[in-house]
Structure 1
Amino acid sequence: MKKRWLLPVFASFVIFSGIGMNDAEAASVTDLTSTAKDYIGAPYKYGGNDINTGVDCSAYTKFIFSKLGISLERTSKDQYQQGTSVSKDSLKAGDLVFFNTSGNGISHVGIYIENGNFISATPSSGVRIDKLNDPYYWGSRYIGAKRIANFTTNEIAQAEVKGEEIDFSIYASRGAVAIQLAKALALDTSDTNSSFPDVKSSSEQAGAIVALKKLGIFNGDSNGKFNPNSPITRGQLAKVLVEAFDLEQQGEPKNFTDVTSTHWAKNFIAVLSSNKITQGKGDGTFGVNDKVTLNQLNIFIERLTR
Protein backbone atom coordinates (compact mmCIF):
# COMPACT_ATOMS: atom_id res chain seq x y z
CA MET A 1 0.00 0.00 0.00
CA LYS A 2 1.16 3.52 -0.74
CA LYS A 3 2.57 5.63 2.10
CA ARG A 4 0.45 8.55 3.19
CA TRP A 5 2.31 10.53 5.82
CA LEU A 6 -0.67 12.82 6.30
CA LEU A 7 -1.74 14.93 9.24
CA PRO A 8 -4.98 16.94 9.44
CA VAL A 9 -4.77 20.70 9.76
CA PHE A 10 -6.68 21.83 12.83
CA ALA A 11 -9.11 24.64 12.16
CA SER A 12 -7.99 26.56 15.22
CA PHE A 13 -4.74 27.56 13.52
CA VAL A 14 -4.63 30.76 11.49
CA ILE A 15 -2.59 30.96 8.28
CA PHE A 16 0.16 33.57 8.28
CA SER A 17 2.44 34.81 5.51
CA GLY A 18 5.06 37.45 4.83
CA ILE A 19 8.70 37.96 5.69
CA GLY A 20 8.29 39.16 9.29
CA MET A 21 7.89 37.12 12.45
CA ASN A 22 4.53 35.52 13.15
CA ASP A 23 2.74 35.54 16.47
CA ALA A 24 1.85 31.85 16.67
CA GLU A 25 0.04 31.86 19.97
CA ALA A 26 -2.33 29.18 18.71
CA ALA A 27 0.57 26.71 18.60
CA SER A 28 2.78 25.61 21.48
CA VAL A 29 6.29 24.19 21.62
CA THR A 30 4.70 20.78 22.12
CA ASP A 31 2.62 21.21 18.95
CA LEU A 32 5.78 22.04 17.04
CA THR A 33 8.05 19.27 18.33
CA SER A 34 5.43 16.52 18.26
CA THR A 35 4.38 17.43 14.71
CA ALA A 36 7.98 17.56 13.50
CA LYS A 37 8.84 14.23 15.15
CA ASP A 38 5.76 12.53 13.74
CA TYR A 39 7.54 12.48 10.37
CA ILE A 40 10.86 11.01 11.45
CA GLY A 41 11.84 8.53 8.75
CA ALA A 42 9.90 10.28 5.98
CA PRO A 43 11.87 9.85 2.72
CA TYR A 44 14.18 12.45 1.19
CA LYS A 45 13.87 13.57 -2.41
CA TYR A 46 15.75 16.51 -3.89
CA GLY A 47 13.17 19.00 -5.12
CA GLY A 48 10.41 16.83 -3.69
CA ASN A 49 7.28 18.46 -2.26
CA ASP A 50 5.23 15.40 -1.23
CA ILE A 51 5.81 14.09 2.30
CA ASN A 52 4.46 10.73 1.08
CA THR A 53 7.06 10.17 -1.64
CA GLY A 54 9.88 12.44 -0.56
CA VAL A 55 10.79 16.00 0.43
CA ASP A 56 13.99 17.98 0.58
CA CYS A 57 15.03 20.02 3.61
CA SER A 58 13.11 23.23 2.83
CA ALA A 59 10.00 21.37 1.68
CA TYR A 60 10.00 19.58 5.05
CA THR A 61 10.24 22.78 7.08
CA LYS A 62 7.58 24.40 4.91
CA PHE A 63 5.32 21.38 5.40
CA ILE A 64 5.72 21.26 9.20
CA PHE A 65 5.14 24.99 9.64
CA SER A 66 2.07 24.82 7.41
CA LYS A 67 0.59 22.31 9.87
CA LEU A 68 0.95 24.99 12.53
CA GLY A 69 -0.68 27.65 10.37
CA ILE A 70 2.53 29.40 9.28
CA SER A 71 3.58 30.00 5.68
CA LEU A 72 7.23 29.62 4.67
CA GLU A 73 8.96 30.28 1.37
CA ARG A 74 9.96 27.22 -0.66
CA THR A 75 13.77 27.24 -0.63
CA SER A 76 16.24 27.37 2.25
CA LYS A 77 17.74 30.60 0.87
CA ASP A 78 14.33 32.27 0.71
CA GLN A 79 13.41 30.98 4.17
CA TYR A 80 16.57 32.63 5.47
CA GLN A 81 15.06 35.95 4.40
CA GLN A 82 12.07 35.43 6.71
CA GLY A 83 11.74 36.14 10.41
CA THR A 84 14.40 37.76 12.59
CA SER A 85 18.00 36.70 13.21
CA VAL A 86 18.76 34.79 16.40
CA SER A 87 22.15 34.15 17.96
CA LYS A 88 23.17 30.55 18.52
CA ASP A 89 23.09 30.86 22.31
CA SER A 90 19.54 32.29 22.21
CA LEU A 91 17.91 29.56 20.14
CA LYS A 92 14.39 28.43 21.05
CA ALA A 93 12.33 25.50 19.82
CA GLY A 94 10.83 26.41 16.47
CA ASP A 95 13.72 28.53 15.22
CA LEU A 96 14.97 27.65 11.75
CA VAL A 97 18.66 26.76 11.63
CA PHE A 98 20.69 27.07 8.43
CA PHE A 99 23.82 25.40 7.11
CA ASN A 100 26.28 25.56 4.24
CA THR A 101 26.59 21.95 3.06
CA SER A 102 27.48 22.67 -0.55
CA GLY A 103 30.23 25.24 -0.21
CA ASN A 104 28.05 27.83 -1.94
CA GLY A 105 26.21 29.48 0.93
CA ILE A 106 22.90 28.44 2.47
CA SER A 107 21.94 24.97 1.26
CA HIS A 108 20.26 23.23 4.21
CA VAL A 109 17.62 24.16 6.78
CA GLY A 110 16.20 22.43 9.83
CA ILE A 111 14.03 23.12 12.86
CA TYR A 112 15.63 23.59 16.27
CA ILE A 113 13.89 21.46 18.92
CA GLU A 114 15.87 22.36 22.07
CA ASN A 115 18.66 20.64 24.00
CA GLY A 116 21.08 21.24 21.15
CA ASN A 117 19.07 19.16 18.69
CA PHE A 118 17.47 20.00 15.37
CA ILE A 119 15.34 17.98 12.97
CA SER A 120 15.59 18.09 9.18
CA ALA A 121 15.23 16.10 5.99
CA THR A 122 18.65 14.71 5.09
CA PRO A 123 19.74 13.08 1.81
CA SER A 124 21.27 10.13 3.68
CA SER A 125 18.52 9.21 6.13
CA GLY A 126 15.39 11.21 5.36
CA VAL A 127 13.85 13.12 8.26
CA ARG A 128 15.95 12.67 11.40
CA ILE A 129 17.27 14.44 14.50
CA ASP A 130 20.90 15.63 14.68
CA LYS A 131 23.11 17.55 17.08
CA LEU A 132 23.54 21.19 16.11
CA ASN A 133 27.16 21.18 17.30
CA ASP A 134 28.06 17.80 15.86
CA PRO A 135 31.86 18.13 15.44
CA TYR A 136 31.95 15.73 12.52
CA TYR A 137 29.55 17.55 10.23
CA TRP A 138 26.86 20.03 11.25
CA GLY A 139 28.89 22.06 13.73
CA SER A 140 31.33 23.39 11.15
CA ARG A 141 28.62 24.04 8.57
CA TYR A 142 26.28 26.10 10.73
CA ILE A 143 25.53 29.58 9.32
CA GLY A 144 22.78 31.10 11.45
CA ALA A 145 19.18 30.99 12.62
CA LYS A 146 15.91 32.81 12.10
CA ARG A 147 12.91 33.07 14.42
CA ILE A 148 9.82 32.79 12.27
CA ALA A 149 7.25 32.60 15.06
CA ASN A 150 6.77 32.86 18.81
CA PHE A 151 5.48 29.55 20.14
CA THR A 152 3.74 29.42 23.49
CA THR A 153 5.41 27.51 26.30
CA ASN A 154 2.43 26.94 28.60
CA GLU A 155 2.42 23.21 27.97
CA ILE A 156 -0.75 21.19 28.32
CA ALA A 157 1.11 18.87 30.71
CA GLN A 158 1.24 21.64 33.29
CA ALA A 159 -2.52 22.01 33.23
CA GLU A 160 -2.94 18.30 33.86
CA VAL A 161 -1.54 18.67 37.36
CA LYS A 162 -4.99 19.83 38.35
CA GLY A 163 -6.36 16.35 37.72
CA GLU A 164 -8.79 15.52 34.96
CA GLU A 165 -8.38 18.80 33.08
CA ILE A 166 -7.03 17.25 29.89
CA ASP A 167 -7.32 19.19 26.66
CA PHE A 168 -8.96 16.78 24.23
CA SER A 169 -8.41 19.19 21.38
CA ILE A 170 -4.79 18.04 21.75
CA TYR A 171 -5.02 14.56 23.26
CA ALA A 172 -7.01 11.57 22.03
CA SER A 173 -9.75 10.16 24.26
CA ARG A 174 -10.67 6.47 24.22
CA GLY A 175 -13.91 7.46 22.52
CA ALA A 176 -12.06 9.35 19.78
CA VAL A 177 -9.79 6.34 19.24
CA ALA A 178 -12.85 4.12 18.87
CA ILE A 179 -14.37 6.38 16.22
CA GLN A 180 -11.12 6.59 14.23
CA LEU A 181 -10.56 2.83 14.35
CA ALA A 182 -14.12 2.03 13.31
CA LYS A 183 -13.74 4.30 10.28
CA ALA A 184 -10.34 2.88 9.36
CA LEU A 185 -11.63 -0.69 9.60
CA ALA A 186 -14.91 0.19 7.83
CA LEU A 187 -16.94 -1.40 10.63
CA ASP A 188 -20.72 -1.49 10.80
CA THR A 189 -21.57 1.01 13.54
CA SER A 190 -25.35 0.83 13.26
CA ASP A 191 -25.70 -1.06 16.55
CA THR A 192 -25.54 1.54 19.31
CA ASN A 193 -26.89 -0.67 22.11
CA SER A 194 -23.83 -0.47 24.35
CA SER A 195 -23.35 -2.75 27.34
CA PHE A 196 -21.07 -0.20 28.98
CA PRO A 197 -22.94 1.81 31.64
CA ASP A 198 -21.00 4.98 30.77
CA VAL A 199 -21.75 4.84 27.03
CA LYS A 200 -25.28 5.95 26.16
CA SER A 201 -26.87 4.69 22.96
CA SER A 202 -27.36 8.31 21.92
CA SER A 203 -23.61 8.99 22.07
CA GLU A 204 -21.86 9.60 18.75
CA GLN A 205 -19.24 7.11 19.90
CA ALA A 206 -21.66 4.31 20.80
CA GLY A 207 -21.76 2.56 17.41
CA ALA A 208 -17.97 2.49 17.10
CA ILE A 209 -17.50 1.29 20.67
CA VAL A 210 -20.05 -1.51 20.26
CA ALA A 211 -18.49 -2.65 16.98
CA LEU A 212 -15.00 -2.75 18.47
CA LYS A 213 -16.16 -4.63 21.55
CA LYS A 214 -17.74 -7.30 19.34
CA LEU A 215 -14.31 -7.85 17.79
CA GLY A 216 -12.65 -8.00 21.20
CA ILE A 217 -10.46 -4.98 20.42
CA PHE A 218 -11.75 -2.80 23.24
CA ASN A 219 -12.97 -3.95 26.62
CA GLY A 220 -14.05 -2.21 29.78
CA ASP A 221 -12.27 -1.74 33.10
CA SER A 222 -12.75 -3.79 36.28
CA ASN A 223 -16.04 -1.99 36.88
CA GLY A 224 -17.34 -2.72 33.39
CA LYS A 225 -16.97 0.88 32.24
CA PHE A 226 -15.48 1.94 28.89
CA ASN A 227 -14.33 5.40 30.06
CA PRO A 228 -14.82 7.16 26.70
CA ASN A 229 -13.56 10.47 28.05
CA SER A 230 -10.31 9.13 29.45
CA PRO A 231 -6.97 9.47 27.64
CA ILE A 232 -5.03 6.53 26.26
CA THR A 233 -1.28 5.96 26.50
CA ARG A 234 1.01 5.13 23.61
CA GLY A 235 1.62 1.71 25.13
CA GLN A 236 -2.10 1.00 25.36
CA LEU A 237 -2.66 2.23 21.82
CA ALA A 238 0.09 -0.07 20.54
CA LYS A 239 -1.84 -3.07 21.84
CA VAL A 240 -5.12 -1.82 20.38
CA LEU A 241 -3.61 -1.15 16.93
CA VAL A 242 -1.80 -4.49 16.70
CA GLU A 243 -4.98 -6.37 17.55
CA ALA A 244 -7.27 -4.19 15.44
CA PHE A 245 -5.18 -4.56 12.29
CA ASP A 246 -4.08 -8.14 13.04
CA LEU A 247 -0.41 -7.21 12.69
CA GLU A 248 2.51 -9.61 12.95
CA GLN A 249 6.19 -8.89 13.41
CA GLN A 250 8.03 -8.16 10.15
CA GLY A 251 11.78 -8.41 10.62
CA GLU A 252 13.80 -6.80 13.38
CA PRO A 253 11.94 -4.32 15.61
CA LYS A 254 13.40 -1.07 16.92
CA ASN A 255 14.53 -1.07 20.56
CA PHE A 256 13.41 1.77 22.83
CA THR A 257 15.14 2.73 26.06
CA ASP A 258 11.89 3.14 28.01
CA VAL A 259 10.46 -0.26 26.99
CA THR A 260 12.05 -2.95 29.15
CA SER A 261 12.19 -6.63 28.25
CA THR A 262 9.48 -7.33 30.83
CA HIS A 263 7.15 -4.46 29.98
CA TRP A 264 3.65 -5.69 29.19
CA ALA A 265 3.51 -3.68 25.93
CA LYS A 266 6.97 -4.68 24.63
CA ASN A 267 5.71 -7.21 22.06
CA PHE A 268 3.00 -4.89 20.75
CA ILE A 269 5.46 -2.02 20.37
CA ALA A 270 7.93 -4.37 18.67
CA VAL A 271 5.29 -5.38 16.14
CA LEU A 272 4.42 -1.74 15.41
CA SER A 273 8.05 -0.73 14.91
CA SER A 274 8.86 -3.75 12.75
CA ASN A 275 5.99 -2.75 10.47
CA LYS A 276 7.37 0.83 10.26
CA ILE A 277 4.28 2.22 11.95
CA THR A 278 6.34 3.97 14.62
CA GLN A 279 9.85 5.38 14.82
CA GLY A 280 9.51 6.41 18.44
CA LYS A 281 10.01 9.96 19.68
CA GLY A 282 13.38 10.53 18.08
CA ASP A 283 15.32 10.47 21.36
CA GLY A 284 15.55 6.70 21.68
CA THR A 285 12.30 6.36 23.62
CA PHE A 286 8.84 5.23 22.58
CA GLY A 287 7.00 7.32 25.16
CA VAL A 288 5.20 4.24 26.40
CA ASN A 289 3.39 6.06 29.21
CA ASP A 290 2.79 9.30 27.31
CA LYS A 291 -0.76 10.26 26.45
CA VAL A 292 -1.56 9.86 22.76
CA THR A 293 -2.17 13.11 20.91
CA LEU A 294 -4.69 13.48 18.09
CA ASN A 295 -1.73 14.16 15.78
CA GLN A 296 -0.10 10.87 16.70
CA LEU A 297 -3.35 8.93 16.41
CA ASN A 298 -3.94 10.22 12.89
CA ILE A 299 -0.36 9.46 11.87
CA PHE A 300 -0.55 5.87 13.14
CA ILE A 301 -3.81 5.19 11.36
CA GLU A 302 -2.63 6.79 8.13
CA ARG A 303 0.45 4.55 8.14
CA LEU A 304 -1.65 1.49 8.89
CA THR A 305 -4.01 2.18 6.00
CA ARG A 306 -1.44 3.22 3.40
Structure 2
Amino acid sequence: MKKLLKLTLASIVFSTTIFGFTTNISANTGSTSSSLQSAQITSTTQNVRSNIIRTGHRFLGVPYRLGAEYETSRRFDCSSFTQYVYKRNGISLPRGARAQYNHGVKVARNDLRPGDLVFFSTKATLKYSRYSVKRIGHVGIYAGKNRVLHTYGKGGVKYNTMSSGWWDKHYVGAVRVIR
Protein backbone atom coordinates (compact mmCIF):
# COMPACT_ATOMS: atom_id res chain seq x y z
CA MET A 1 0.00 0.00 0.00
CA LYS A 2 2.83 2.44 0.91
CA LYS A 3 4.63 1.63 -2.34
CA LEU A 4 1.46 2.23 -4.36
CA LEU A 5 0.89 5.56 -2.57
CA LYS A 6 4.51 6.57 -3.22
CA LEU A 7 4.26 5.76 -6.91
CA THR A 8 0.95 7.56 -7.19
CA LEU A 9 2.34 10.68 -5.52
CA ALA A 10 5.43 10.56 -7.71
CA SER A 11 3.50 10.51 -10.95
CA ILE A 12 0.44 12.66 -10.33
CA VAL A 13 0.16 16.41 -10.31
CA PHE A 14 -3.25 17.61 -9.32
CA SER A 15 -5.01 20.86 -8.80
CA THR A 16 -7.55 21.79 -6.23
CA THR A 17 -9.33 25.00 -5.58
CA ILE A 18 -9.18 26.33 -2.03
CA PHE A 19 -10.77 29.64 -1.07
CA GLY A 20 -10.76 30.85 -4.67
CA PHE A 21 -7.05 30.12 -5.24
CA THR A 22 -5.93 27.27 -7.46
CA THR A 23 -3.19 25.27 -5.80
CA ASN A 24 -0.99 22.92 -7.81
CA ILE A 25 0.52 20.20 -5.67
CA SER A 26 3.25 17.92 -6.94
CA ALA A 27 5.30 15.37 -5.09
CA ASN A 28 8.56 13.66 -5.96
CA THR A 29 9.49 10.56 -3.98
CA GLY A 30 12.65 9.41 -5.74
CA SER A 31 13.06 5.84 -6.95
CA THR A 32 15.14 4.36 -4.10
CA SER A 33 13.95 6.28 -1.07
CA SER A 34 11.18 5.01 1.17
CA SER A 35 10.25 8.48 2.37
CA LEU A 36 8.89 11.50 0.62
CA GLN A 37 11.97 13.51 -0.44
CA SER A 38 10.23 16.69 -1.41
CA ALA A 39 6.79 18.13 -1.79
CA GLN A 40 6.27 21.31 -3.67
CA ILE A 41 3.13 23.34 -3.27
CA THR A 42 2.72 26.13 -5.76
CA SER A 43 -0.21 28.53 -5.79
CA THR A 44 -1.22 30.26 -8.96
CA THR A 45 -1.12 33.98 -8.55
CA GLN A 46 -3.62 34.90 -11.24
CA ASN A 47 -6.42 35.48 -8.72
CA VAL A 48 -4.20 37.64 -6.52
CA ARG A 49 -3.09 39.70 -9.53
CA SER A 50 -6.69 40.19 -10.67
CA ASN A 51 -7.78 41.14 -7.16
CA ILE A 52 -4.99 43.73 -6.91
CA ILE A 53 -6.21 45.43 -10.11
CA ARG A 54 -9.87 45.16 -9.05
CA THR A 55 -9.10 46.67 -5.65
CA GLY A 56 -7.14 49.56 -7.16
CA HIS A 57 -9.88 50.16 -9.74
CA ARG A 58 -12.40 50.74 -6.92
CA PHE A 59 -10.47 53.86 -5.94
CA LEU A 60 -10.59 55.57 -9.36
CA GLY A 61 -10.97 59.31 -8.84
CA VAL A 62 -9.83 59.35 -5.19
CA PRO A 63 -7.85 62.60 -4.94
CA TYR A 64 -4.05 62.80 -4.86
CA ARG A 65 -2.07 64.57 -2.15
CA LEU A 66 1.67 64.22 -1.56
CA GLY A 67 2.35 62.42 1.72
CA ALA A 68 -1.31 61.45 2.19
CA GLU A 69 -2.39 58.38 4.15
CA TYR A 70 -5.80 57.13 2.99
CA GLU A 71 -7.05 56.13 6.45
CA THR A 72 -6.75 59.68 7.79
CA SER A 73 -7.29 61.88 4.72
CA ARG A 74 -9.27 59.79 2.21
CA ARG A 75 -6.55 60.74 -0.28
CA PHE A 76 -3.52 58.91 -1.63
CA ASP A 77 -0.07 59.69 -2.85
CA CYS A 78 1.50 57.18 -5.23
CA SER A 79 3.14 54.89 -2.67
CA SER A 80 0.31 55.06 -0.12
CA PHE A 81 -2.01 53.94 -2.95
CA THR A 82 0.09 50.90 -3.87
CA GLN A 83 0.70 50.10 -0.20
CA TYR A 84 -3.04 50.30 0.61
CA VAL A 85 -4.15 48.22 -2.39
CA TYR A 86 -1.63 45.48 -1.66
CA LYS A 87 -2.47 45.52 2.06
CA ARG A 88 -6.16 44.99 1.23
CA ASN A 89 -5.00 41.83 -0.55
CA GLY A 90 -2.86 40.55 2.33
CA ILE A 91 0.52 41.77 1.07
CA SER A 92 2.67 44.19 3.07
CA LEU A 93 4.64 46.87 1.26
CA PRO A 94 6.88 49.52 2.79
CA ARG A 95 6.00 53.20 2.43
CA GLY A 96 7.74 55.19 -0.29
CA ALA A 97 8.35 54.45 -3.96
CA ARG A 98 12.08 53.83 -3.49
CA ALA A 99 11.49 51.45 -0.58
CA GLN A 100 8.91 49.55 -2.65
CA TYR A 101 11.40 49.28 -5.53
CA ASN A 102 13.81 47.50 -3.20
CA HIS A 103 11.07 45.21 -1.87
CA GLY A 104 10.48 42.91 -4.83
CA VAL A 105 12.28 41.01 -7.57
CA LYS A 106 13.29 43.17 -10.55
CA VAL A 107 11.54 42.28 -13.82
CA ALA A 108 12.15 43.37 -17.40
CA ARG A 109 9.65 45.68 -19.05
CA ASN A 110 8.78 43.03 -21.63
CA ASP A 111 7.99 40.55 -18.83
CA LEU A 112 5.48 42.71 -16.91
CA ARG A 113 2.40 41.04 -15.46
CA PRO A 114 -0.68 42.68 -13.97
CA GLY A 115 -0.01 43.50 -10.33
CA ASP A 116 3.70 44.22 -10.79
CA LEU A 117 4.88 47.55 -9.41
CA VAL A 118 6.21 49.96 -12.06
CA PHE A 119 8.46 52.91 -11.28
CA PHE A 120 9.08 56.24 -12.97
CA SER A 121 11.33 59.25 -12.63
CA THR A 122 9.89 62.70 -12.05
CA LYS A 123 11.16 66.13 -13.00
CA ALA A 124 12.89 66.32 -9.60
CA THR A 125 14.53 62.87 -9.84
CA LEU A 126 15.49 62.89 -13.52
CA LYS A 127 18.92 64.34 -12.68
CA TYR A 128 20.07 61.08 -11.06
CA SER A 129 21.68 58.18 -12.93
CA ARG A 130 19.19 55.90 -14.63
CA TYR A 131 20.69 53.05 -12.56
CA SER A 132 20.28 54.79 -9.21
CA VAL A 133 17.30 54.20 -6.92
CA LYS A 134 17.35 58.00 -6.38
CA ARG A 135 15.95 58.35 -9.91
CA ILE A 136 12.65 56.84 -8.72
CA GLY A 137 10.00 59.40 -7.89
CA HIS A 138 6.75 57.62 -8.71
CA VAL A 139 5.18 54.16 -8.41
CA GLY A 140 2.07 52.57 -9.89
CA ILE A 141 0.55 49.15 -10.49
CA TYR A 142 0.92 47.53 -13.89
CA ALA A 143 -2.66 46.79 -14.99
CA GLY A 144 -1.94 44.86 -18.19
CA LYS A 145 -2.29 45.99 -21.81
CA ASN A 146 0.51 48.54 -21.30
CA ARG A 147 -1.46 50.49 -18.68
CA VAL A 148 -0.44 51.76 -15.25
CA LEU A 149 -2.95 52.25 -12.41
CA HIS A 150 -1.64 55.03 -10.16
CA THR A 151 -2.36 58.37 -8.59
CA TYR A 152 -0.79 61.72 -9.26
CA GLY A 153 -2.06 65.26 -9.68
CA LYS A 154 -5.41 66.23 -11.14
CA GLY A 155 -7.92 63.40 -11.32
CA GLY A 156 -6.34 61.35 -8.54
CA VAL A 157 -6.35 57.57 -9.07
CA LYS A 158 -6.44 56.80 -12.80
CA TYR A 159 -5.07 54.67 -15.63
CA ASN A 160 -2.44 55.89 -18.08
CA THR A 161 -0.88 54.21 -21.10
CA MET A 162 2.78 53.49 -20.45
CA SER A 163 3.79 53.80 -24.10
CA SER A 164 2.64 57.41 -24.35
CA GLY A 165 5.26 60.18 -24.31
CA TRP A 166 5.92 61.09 -20.67
CA TRP A 167 5.38 57.60 -19.26
CA ASP A 168 7.62 55.96 -21.82
CA LYS A 169 10.44 58.47 -21.33
CA HIS A 170 10.32 58.35 -17.53
CA TYR A 171 10.02 54.58 -17.04
CA VAL A 172 12.75 53.37 -14.64
CA GLY A 173 11.92 49.74 -13.86
CA ALA A 174 9.57 47.24 -12.27
CA VAL A 175 9.45 44.74 -9.44
CA ARG A 176 7.37 41.66 -8.86
CA VAL A 177 6.02 41.27 -5.35
CA ILE A 178 3.43 38.61 -6.25
CA ARG A 179 5.30 35.44 -7.20
TM-score relative to the length of structure 1:
0.40
Aligned to 1:36: 56
Give how far 1:26 is off.
Answer: 9.2
Aligned to 1:128: 158
Aligned to 2:173: 144
Aligned to 1:106: 136
1:66 counterpart (68, 87, 99): 87
Percent identity of paired positions between Structure 1 and Structure 2: 30
Counterparts of 1:27 and 1:72, CA distance in 2: 19
Change (3 A) 1:88 1:47: same
Counterparts of 1:24 and 1:50, CA distance in 2: 30
Give how far 1:25 is off.
Answer: 4.6
Counterparts of 1:27 and 1:88, CA distance in 2: 22
Residues 1:50 and 2:70 aligned together: yes
Residues 1:90 and 2:131 aligned together: no
Amino acid at match of 2:85: I
Amino acid at match of 2:149: I
Counterparts of 1:57 and 1:130, CA distance in 2: 14
Give how far 1:67 is off.
Answer: 0.6
Contact residue 41 and residue 127 of structure 1 kept, 8 A? yes
Counterparts of 1:92 and 1:129, CA distance in 2: 16
Calculate the aligned-residue CA RMSD, in Å. 2.0
Mapping 1:1-306, distance limit 5 Å: 25=45, 27-50=47-70, 53-104=74-125, 105-135=135-165, 137-150=166-179
Aligned to 1:157: none
Give how far 1:28 is off.
Answer: 2.7
Contact residue 77 and residue 152 of structure 2 kept, 8 A? yes
Structure 1 stretches of 5 or more lacking a match? 1-11, 13-22, 151-306
* TM superposition outliers: structure 1 runs of 4+ over 2 Å: 23-30
Contact residue 27 and residue 68 of structure 1 kept, 8 A? no
Counterparts of 1:79 and 1:66, CA distance in 2: 13
Change (3 A) 1:55 1:33: same
Name the structure with the higher strand share: 2
Give how far 1:106 is off.
Answer: 0.6
- Output one character per residue of 1:66-92: Cα deviation in whole Å (capped at 9) or x when no partner: 011000010001101011110000000
Counterparts of 1:92 and 1:110, CA distance in 2: 13
TM-score relative to the length of structure 2:
0.67
Give how far 1:36 is off.
Answer: 1.0
How many residue pairs match? The answer is: 129
Amino acid at match of 1:131: T
DSSP 3-state at the match of 1:54? coil
DSSP 3-state at the match of 1:34? helix
DSSP 3-state at the match of 1:58? helix
Counterparts of 2:142 and 2:45, CA distance in 1: 18
Amino acid at match of 2:169: S
Amino acid at match of 2:92: S
Contact residue 24 and residue 149 of structure 1 kept, 8 A? no
Counterparts of 1:27 and 1:42, CA distance in 2: 24
Amino acid at match of 1:35: T
Amino acid at match of 1:36: G
Contact residue 143 and residue 149 of structure 2 kept, 8 A? yes
